[in-house]
Each structure stands twice: as structure tokens, then as C-alpha cells.
Amino acid sequence: MHQRQKHSTPGHRSDFAADGGALSMSHNDSRSFFNFSQLVLSAGQIKPSPALKHSKITYFEVEILDVQSKKQICIVDKVPPASTLLDVKHKFHKACPQWYPSRVGLQLERNGPFLKDSVSMQSLAVSSIITLYFTDLGQQVGWTTFFLTEYTGPLLIYLLFYIRLSTIYDQVESRKNFRHPVVHLACFCHCLHYIRHLLETLFVHKFSEGHTPLKNMIKGCAFYWGFTSWIAYYINHPRYTPPSFGHRQVSYATLAFLMCEAGNHFINVALAHQTNSGNKTCFPSPTYNPFTWLFLLVSCPNYTYEAGSWISFTVMTQTLPVGIFAFLMVIQMSLWAQKKHKLYLKRFYPEVRRKAAMIPIIF
């Protein structure tokens, strides 16, 4: 028994040593795993996610460069991410008072389009520093001022010729010659046309954001005011000759003129109140009003009615200046209609694809 105990003791010790060795090895492994875990946790993320990096940006810094020389004009700092481009323009105006916001044109690239005032700075940012290129757009005027000035001139100028000022016509000849009724009718129709334009500018039209250069308003006024002077001088002249077919020609032309004026007004109202389907704007559709049925044939019926007004006025008065003005207006409005028609095809393709731009079949 004693010998067995001696023999068993080393065996028991060897088993215990084996167990103790296993325990020591597992303890070392767990300790090394713990150290490795601590190292990973202390190192952090190797590449932080863009969202986390972007969330740390509290302000942007906007660098504004000259579009021609690429020289730095100024730096607008502390711009919140929720700010719009218009906010940056106001801060730029404080730094450079000679350039007010409507005169400032900003681009992401030198040859790129001008950014809209409503664009958020967060949508433009790639990093905390945003570089924009500045262009001086020159003196600007609002669209409402543009159209009010352009349409008020012809209204007043025509009335000056209608009352036959002594500085324009010979007074003796003016008193001697009898005025044909078409002269009074032409004055009424001409004034009605521009009064409608003025009222629609104030209460109907919804103008897009931004401004237009002052030189564009000067060119528009020169065109409308100049032609109005030429037209009014001939129609109100003491030696004016009435239309060849007399009362019938004047009556039919006046009726067509009034119908075109009414149609133009109802089309402008329909365009100003386009129906919305969810977030998508729908192309105006004809209603019970027969003047809106022209939407079935053309995409720009307001230009169709405008051209019809001036063609009718030409037939009514039978004067060369009105005919030339009507011809130029038809050409100009057909160009505008073609441009709008292309935009409509992109936005409302299924509804516009079978329509003409301004005049059915021709344009």
C-alpha cells in the first residue's frame, strides 16, 4: 500500500501539474485578449464616418474670389449650415458696400451658372471652406418695376398724341379736320391693352426670384415707347385716312381685338393658378371657360392671344407703323414660345408633346 502511494503520488502530481499548466495558459490567453481589446478601444475608429465628421461642422467659411483674376475679394466667416446664398450676399454687402445683393452673381465654377438665392450653403459644402466666384451683374431692377415702367410709358405717350398737343400737330389743321370714330376707338383699345398689362403685373403675375439688368429695361422701354410714339403720331394725325372697308372692317377687327384681350387675361390667370398634384405642378388644362380651350392646341396661348391683339389692331387702324410693330411682336413672341415649349416638354412631356408652341401647325 505504501509503495502504491509512492507510485500514485507522482502520478497525482503530474495530473495536478497538467491541470495547473492548463489554468495558467488560459489565464495568459485571457489577459492577452484583454490587452488587445483595450488597444483597439483606445485607438478608436480608423476612418470616421462622413456623417459624424459633417455633424461636427458648426459654421462654414465662404471664400469669395474674383471670376476674372481669381484674386480673393473677402472671406465671409461664421456662416451657419442652414443659411442661404442670399444670407451670404447680405454679409458680403456689409464687407463690400459698393455691391448690393441683387448686383452680386456667385458661381461654384468660373464658367458655371449663377446660383439661386434660395440655395442652402449646406448643399454646396464639401468641407468647412466653400469657394465661390463673384461677378458684378451691374445695376439691377426688380421684375415688377421693369414691367410697370415698360407699360406705363406707352399708355401716357399715346394719350399725349391723342389730345393733339400744339407742339406736335398744327392747331389750325387739327380743328379743321374731323376725327373719324376709329381714332377714338383705337385710343380706347390701346389704353385697354396696357391697363390690362399693368393690372396683371400688380395682381396676377407671379414673378420669379431675382432681378434683371437695368440695360434690359432701357432697351425694352426704348422699343415700346418708340413704337408707341410712331403709332400714335399716325393714328391721331389730322390727315389720318380711315380703313378702306369702312365700318365693317373696323367692327370685325375691334371684336377680334376684344376677344384676344379677354383670352389673354384668362390664360394669364390660369397660368398664375396652376393646379398642384402632390409635389408636382401640373400643366394648366382647359376649363368651362371657352377662352382656355386654346390649351388643347398650343402650349403658350397667352402669346397667341397677344399676337392676335396686335394683328387685329393693325386691321382696325390700317396703318403701316402698327403693321411693322405687330410683325416684330409675332417674331419675338414665337421665339419666346419656342423656348418655353422646350421647358414644358421637359416638365410636362405627356401633356405637351402633341401641342404646338404658339400657332397650331405652324409653330
- What mean pLDDT comes out for the span 173-198? 94
pLDDT of the residue at 8: 43
Spatial separation of the C-alpha atoms in residues 36 and 95, rounded to whole Å? 55
Query: What is the grid cell recorded at 32?
Result: 492577452
Burial zone of 335 (CB within 10 Å; 0-12 exposed, 13-18 middle, 19+ buried): middle
* pLDDT, tens digit (0-9, with 9 covering 90-100), for 98-113: 998 989 999 999 988 9
* pLDDT, tens digit (0-9, with 9 covering 90-100), for 126-137: 888 999 999 999
Q: Do residues 139 and 214 make contact, with C-beta atoms less than 8 angstroms apart?
A: yes
* pLDDT, tens digit (0-9, with 9 covering 90-100), for 295-336: 999 999 999 999 999 999 999 999 999 999 999 999 999 999
Which domains occur in the chain, in start order?
60-138 (3.10.20.90), 141-242 (no CATH), 245-362 (no CATH)
Asked if residue 93 has pLDDT above 60, the reply is: yes
- What mean pLDDT comes out for the span 202-211? 82
> Lowest mean pLDDT: which of 43-52, 176-185, 257-266?
43-52
Asked if residue 260 has pLDDT above 70, the reply is: yes
In Å, what is the CA distance from 4 to each residue of 1, 12, 275? 5, 12, 105
pLDDT of the residue at 126: 85
Query: What is the grid cell recorded at 322?
Result: 402698327
Q: Do residues 107 and 113 make contact, with C-beta atoms less than 8 angstroms apart?
A: yes
Task: Name the helix (H) or strand (E) containing 281.
Answer: strand 280-281
pLDDT band per the 50, 70, 90 thresholds, residue 209? low
Q: Do residues 166 and 238 make contact, with C-beta atoms less than 8 angstroms apart?
A: no
* pLDDT, tens digit (0-9, with 9 covering 90-100), for 47-85: 444 443 444 558 899 999 999 999 999 999 989 988 999
DSSP assignment letter at 262: H
pLDDT of the residue at 66: 94
CA proximity to 305, closest of 351, 254, 358: 358
* pLDDT, tens digit (0-9, with 9 covering 90-100), for 267-276: 999 998 875 4
pLDDT band per the 50, 70, 90 thresholds, residue 7? very low
Beta strand 60-66 pairing with 140-142? unpaired
First-residue to last-residue Cα distance in the chain: 123
pLDDT of the residue at 360: 79
Spatial separation of the C-alpha atoms in residues 154 and 304, rounded to whole Å? 21
Spatial separation of the C-alpha atoms in residues 32 and 65, rounded to whole Å? 57
Q: Do residues 106 and 133 make contact, with C-beta atoms less than 8 angstroms apart?
A: yes
* pLDDT, tens digit (0-9, with 9 covering 90-100), for 191-201: 999 999 999 99
DSSP secondary structure, 65-107, as one string = EETTT--EEEEEEEE-TT-BHHHHHHHHHHHSTTS-GGGEEEE
Spatial separation of the C-alpha atoms in residues 333 and 306, rounded to whole Å? 9
Sequence-ordered alpha helix ranges (H) in the chain = 2-43, 50-55, 85-95, 121-124, 143-162, 171-176, 181-203, 214-235, 246-272, 301-317, 320-347, 349-352
Q: Do residues 189 and 313 make contact, with C-beta atoms less than 8 angstroms apart?
A: yes
pLDDT of the residue at 71: 93
* pLDDT, tens digit (0-9, with 9 covering 90-100), for 16-31: 343 444 434 444 554 5
DSSP secondary structure, 139-199, as one string = SEEEHHHHHHHHHHHHHHHHHHHHTT-TTTS-HHHHHHSPPPHHHHHHHHHHHHHHHHHHH
